[in-house]
Chain A
Amino acid sequence: MTETTVATIDDKLLTKRLGKAMFRSRLRAFMLVVPVLLFLLLSFVIPILSFLLQGISDDTFSSRMPKTTMVLSEWDAVSEPTEEMYAALVADLKVVRANKTIGKVATRVNRDKPGTRSLFTSTGRKIAKIEPPYKESLPGIKKKWQDIEVWQAMKTASRKYTPGYYAAALDLKLTSDGSIVRQDENRRIHLTLMTRTLQISFLVTIFCLLLGYPIAYLLATLPVRSSNLLLILVLLPFWTSILVRTTAWIAMLQSQGVVNDLLVYFGVTDDGTRYSLIYNKLGTLIAMTHILLPFMILPLYSVMKGIPPSYVRAAKSLGASNWTAFWRVYAPQTIPGIGAGAILVFIVAIGYYITPALVGGQEGTMISNTIDDHMRKSLNWNLAAALGGVLMIVVLFLYWIYDRFVGIDNMKLG
């Protein structure tokens, strides 16, 4: 008994001493990574979180039209707007007209009810001279103010936190009473784009695997001198600008391009029926596969390099034909490389943007091109954030599936 007690005390002391001894080295290690942690926090974590927040929060309307927001929150969205509501609206409109932010408010409401932008701006020009009762005078300026749908759109826009953008990203619509319904048929685009994005990324991954596997095998089995040369050829595209590579594909694939010229020359097709190899899905697939191929080859190569030739030899000596030896013994050992390469290519592909924008045409563009559109053209950052958030959730979900069936720890990048 005494011995046990002593051991316990000793153990505790030992742990304590060990902790003390380890503390300094841990602190030193931590100090070494502090700069990069701060950098990541400022340049990665915070921007992403704030951007994701934009997908669910929007105070464009509520911050500029506080009085209207208040009365709208009490309104049941069906009954006729009261004089009090009109008065609040007019008061707010006067303020936003004066500080020149009426355009932003108009744009915001316009998203929920298209065609209301001019209603706001033209009303704004005459708002200074308006007299009560506003319930009569405001429709006097523009008759549309009597339309209850305008009010419903304003009520939807006035919510500070809203699932509306995520709903829109999934081709759903948030109605003024808070329920979510499917978007009108002709306005459903995001789900189509999302499926197309997944489909293109998936196909690019498959093509990269089919093309990259033999090259990686060759790299891993050739003598060092020739394999180094081949490795440089694999890496060469990395040293060329992505823009240059994509434009090179345009020169190659366009209807008056090299490939079509050759096909015409060899009589595969004639001048009138040149193939459209670019500005469609095929163009995106070809160019993206080319650009992402090294991401597949390199992890595969590093895994294959670590497989000693004696495994295949052993399989053959045990009576396996070349194919059986490859399929049963070699290929299973390259799964970590396949997993790493596939995940890498897929994740890079799903957010790909420049190449589809340049060679994708109508049917070859991807969700990132739409996000870019909302960021730079329609300036609907909230929807862009929601689309980005959906994309991230999809990727995380696929990652989770991968982990379930293959195992992340089975992945080997180098």
Chain B
Amino acid sequence: MSDNPLVRFQNVQKSYDGKILVVKDLNLDVEKGEFLTMLGPSGSGKTTCLMMLAGFEPATYGEIYLNERPINNVPPHKRGIGMVFQNYALFPHMTVAENLAFPLEVRKMSTSERSDRVKRALDMVQLGDFGNRRPAQLSGGQQQRVAVARALVFDPDLVLMDEPLGALDKNLREQMQYEIKHIHENLGVTVVYVTHDQSEALTMSNRIAVFNDGVVQQLAAPDTLYERPENAFVAQFIGENNKLRGTVTDLDDGYCVVKTATGAMVYAKAVNVKKVGDQSTLSLRPERVVVDPEPGAVQNMFEARVLELIYLGDHIRTRIALLGREDFIVKVPNSANHAFLAEGETVTVGWLQEDCRALD
């Protein structure tokens, strides 16, 4: 972490009603030029954090710094932060070009520079010919691009995006994810992005802050978050995850043994267990489970019964009964010589100690 982050949340708390804390003691730095996503289920406090940063909600306690300047008492229009709203919030009574010129106009920029910048911004989002249209005459994706262009046209240091792709269909959403990512890379602007869609967060972000219950559960790069989740919530929220519960019977040098309810001993990597006798949730990614492993290749090997097979093209999603659970998922890749399973069949599955993470 660098010494002068662009944004710093310091012990920020927020309560709307004076009883419940929506954001509990948030400490978060956003570095210059990074794409940071606040990810979490609805009601986790992520949008509130964004609104506090934009200046639409005051922080109940704590301080937010922008460029090392406390901004709690700076009104939104003096913060110089661009924002893309969930419903785009394009002004319906202005044309696209007028919408884009608005932030330049209130900054008293000259007419020629204004039209210059508007043109550049429109070209950036490939809408060069749409300047004279009204927002209502554009499709959802086009409106989205205009909203992004408008938030960037006045060269803010920081752009906030509040679930901007929520209203688009799946294909368009994916396309826009790449476009926003590329715009971010090309302009080097800092983006704080809020979403509840984990794949969106994984696609676009440099770092992701996973929110739950007003607390940042983990702040890390997408791959770290996926591969090394620090607690059960993160493991469950990011990607698909098999859960096994048990008691820690042995703990040594970062590895542990967990005894499940069925009495089976599972070797796992100790991530978030403190002592022998603790309850622990084991987290295991479906694609890390090996069907029919070579004896000795993996530390954990168990007998399982195949319950359901779903053909998904690139992989076969297999539900098996294992260690007393019937919702254990295995992804069998559709590779040249993959295992052919049948429903009802008994099969051996196994996994590396390294891949099975013992969490809280």
Give residues in A with beta carbon < 8 Å to B.
308, 310-311, 313-322, 324-325, 328-329, 332-333
Residues of A within 8 A of B79 (CB): 317
For the complex, would chain A's binding face be called helix, strand, loop or mixed by DSSP majority? helix
**14 more A-B contacts (CB under 8 A) besides A316-B75, A317-B151, A324-B106?**
A310-B86, A313-B54, A314-B83, A314-B89, A316-B76, A317-B79, A317-B82, A318-B77, A318-B83, A318-B106, A318-B151, A321-B106, A333-B91, A333-B92
Residues of B within 8 A of A320 (CB): 77, 102-103, 106
Residues of B within 8 A of A308 (CB): 87, 89
**Complex-state Cα separation, A323 to B160, whole angstroms:** 23
Interface: B93 (CB within 8 A) = yes
Residues of A within 8 A of B78 (CB): 319
Q: Name the distance in Å between B203's Cβ and chain A's nearest Cβ.
A: 25
Interface: B56 (CB within 8 A) = yes
Closest-by-CB residue of A relative to B93 is A332
The list of the 3 closest CB pairs from A to B, nearest first, reads A318-B103, A314-B89, A317-B83
Contact A313 B89 (CB under 8 A): yes
Within 8 A of A (CB), among B74-130: 75-83, 85-87, 89, 91-93, 102-103, 106-107
29 contacts between A and B (CB under 8 A): A308-B87, A310-B85, A311-B91, A313-B76, A313-B83, A314-B85, A314-B89, A314-B91, A315-B91, A316-B75, A316-B76, A317-B55, A317-B79, A317-B81, A317-B151, A318-B102, A318-B151, A318-B154, A319-B77, A319-B103, A320-B77, A320-B102, A320-B106, A322-B77, A325-B77, A328-B102, A329-B91, A333-B91, A333-B93
Q: How many A-B residue pairs have CB under 8 A?
A: 67
Interface: B14 (CB within 8 A) = no
User: Which of A310, A311, A317, A333 contacts B77, CB < 8 Å?
Assistant: A317
Residues of B within 8 A of A328 (CB): 102
Interface: B145 (CB within 8 A) = no
Closest-by-CB residue of A relative to B153 is A318
Give residues in B with beta carbon < 8 Å to A.
54-56, 75-83, 85-87, 89, 91-93, 102-103, 106-107, 150-151, 154, 160
Closest-by-CB residue of A relative to B150 is A318
Residues of A within 8 A of B77 (CB): 316-322, 325
Q: Name the distance in Å between A204's Cβ and chain B's nearest Cβ.
A: 28
Residues of B within 8 A of A316 (CB): 55-56, 75-77
Residues of B within 8 A of A322 (CB): 75, 77
Residues of A within 8 A of B56 (CB): 313, 316
**Complex-state Cα separation, A319 to B104, whole angstroms:** 9
User: Which of A311, A319, A321, A324 contacts B89, CB < 8 Å?
Assistant: A311
**Complex-state Cα separation, A316 to B160, whole angstroms:** 13
Q: Name the distance in Å between A312's Cβ and chain B's nearest Cβ.
A: 9
Q: Name the distance in Å between A202's Cβ and chain B's nearest Cβ.
A: 26
Closest-by-CB residue of A relative to B56 is A313
Contact B102 A315 (CB under 8 A): yes
**Complex-state Cα separation, A314 to B150, whole angstroms:** 10
Q: Name the distance in Å between B338's Cβ and chain A's nearest Cβ.
A: 49
Q: Name the distance in Å between A309's Cβ and chain B's nearest Cβ.
A: 9
Residues of B within 8 A of A315 (CB): 91, 102
User: Which of B87, B92, B93 contacts A310, CB < 8 Å?
Assistant: B87
Q: Which of B54, B91, B103 has the most CB of A within 10 A?
A: B91
Q: Name the distance in Å between A249's Cβ and chain B's nearest Cβ.
A: 39
**Complex-state Cα separation, A109 to B344, whole angstroms:** 111
Residues of B within 8 A of A318 (CB): 77, 82-83, 102-103, 106, 150-151, 154
Residues of B within 8 A of A332 (CB): 93
Closest-by-CB residue of B relative to A329 is B91
Residues of A within 8 A of B86 (CB): 310
**Complex-state Cα separation, A333 to B135, whole angstroms:** 14
**Complex-state Cα separation, A314 to B77, whole angstroms:** 9
Contact A317 B76 (CB under 8 A): yes
Given contacts A333-B92, A333-B93, contact A313 B85 (CB under 8 A): yes
Closest-by-CB residue of A relative to B160 is A317
